Structure 1
Amino acid sequence: MKIAQNTVVKMHYSVLDGDQNSIDNTFDEEPLEFIIGTGFLIKGLEDALIDKQAGDQVSVTVEPEQGYGLRNDNLTQAVPKSMFEGIDVEVGMQFRATTDEGEQAVIVIGVEDEEVIVDGNHPLAGITLHFDVEILDVRAATQDELAHGHVHSEGGCGHDH
């Protein structure tokens, strides 16, 4: 079976940034399993998998526009340290922030005397990504999986909907 909308794909992958630094790798772990078309993968990788099948190996470079987007400098700002009352804020911490567009994840990129510098960009925004993928299995998603939007293991999905 070929990969298409509403198929379940089981695959191993590794991903590197433009400097060949490893970002993630499943080859020594459990493979990734997901439904094509649910937005689980970034667009550039999902598009590259269409029409592939079990046994195929794929290498693809995904530019930021088809990955996690371009960096937006307007998403970096200084906020008063008082907003983090009772928390020993450190670089690298992640928080949920309320914005005009709803909740958004931010990461602390700097701590100064009275201000905390936060960045609302995805950590991989602006980065070209290089994927090596091995397709292990492709099957049609069940009606329950499509209704729930995720893959079910044998015996169901393990939670109530």
Structure 2
Amino acid sequence: MAIKKDQTVEMNYELKINEEMIEDNMDGESIKFVYGSGQIIPGLESRIEDMNIGESKTINVPSNEAYGEYDEALSQILPIEEFEGINLEIGMVLEGEEENQEVIRATVTEVTNEDVTVDYNHPLAGCDLEFTILIKSIS
């Protein structure tokens, strides 16, 4: 049975960027999602349609169909006083809420005595992704 809209799909995957392994659950617990519901990135979802149980495939997803292009405008320099009481480290992910209660995340990219540079881009923005996937079940 091939994957169709609104079916629950269970799959395992490896994710590489520039030949470097980023994530791998091939020997671990599968992920489950409803196909067509937007629970996985669009470029991957569109490329697994019509796959069958037990089928394996390597899929390349360009950044614009994954987490988007990197946007320099989403990097911001803020006064260090705004981070009082936080032990800042480069690579640290900070969470906050917008006025509409939506959670926002920013990665600390630079810390000086006066300023902190934070980046609101997704960590994989601007990256082309290579997935190797295995379809475990479709229901």
Query: TM-score range with shorter-chain normalisation?
Result: over 0.9
The whole-number CA distance in structure 1 between the counterparts of 2:86 and 2:31 is 35
The residue identity in structure 2 corresponding to 1:8 is T
Q: TM-score, normalised by structure 1?
A: 0.81
TM-superposed CA distance for 1:26, in Å, is 0.5
TM-superposed CA distance for 1:11, in Å, is 0.9
Matched pairs, number? 138
Q: Which residue of 2 aligns with 1:107?
A: 107
TM-superposed CA distance for 1:90, in Å, is 0.8
Deviates more, 1:38-47 or 1:64-73: 38-47
TM-superposed CA distance for 1:95, in Å, is 1.3
Q: TM-score, normalised by structure 2?
A: 0.93
Q: Secondary structure at the match of 1:70?
A: coil
Q: Cα–Cα, structure 1 residues 104 and 76, in superposed 2: closer, same or farther, change >3 Å?
A: same
The residue identity in structure 2 corresponding to 1:14 is E
Alpha-carbon RMSD across the aligned residues, in angstroms, is: 1.5
TM-superposed CA distance for 1:100, in Å, is 7.7
Does 2:112 match 1:118?
no
TM-superposed CA distance for 1:99, in Å, is 5.4
* Equivalent residues in 2 for 1:43-54, closer than 5 Å: 43-54=42-53
Structure 2, unpaired ranges of 5+: none
Q: Secondary structure at the match of 2:51?
A: coil
Superposition misfits of 4+ residues, deviation over 6 angstroms = none
TM-superposed CA distance for 1:66, in Å, is 0.4
Q: Deviations over 1:55-80 (max 9, x none)?
A: 11111100001010000000001111
The whole-number CA distance in structure 2 between the counterparts of 1:132 and 1:110 is 34
* Equivalent residues in 2 for 1:144-155, closer than 5 Å: none
The residue identity in structure 2 corresponding to 1:136 is K
Q: Secondary structure at the match of 1:47?
A: helix
The residue identity in structure 2 corresponding to 1:105 is R
Q: Which residue of 2 aligns with 1:65?
A: 64
The whole-number CA distance in structure 2 between the counterparts of 1:100 and 1:33 is 32
The whole-number CA distance in structure 2 between the counterparts of 1:59 and 1:129 is 10
Q: Cα–Cα, structure 1 residues 37 and 75, in superposed 2: closer, same or farther, change >3 Å?
A: same
Q: Which residue of 2 aligns with 1:7?
A: 7
Q: Which residue of 2 aligns with 1:39?
A: 38
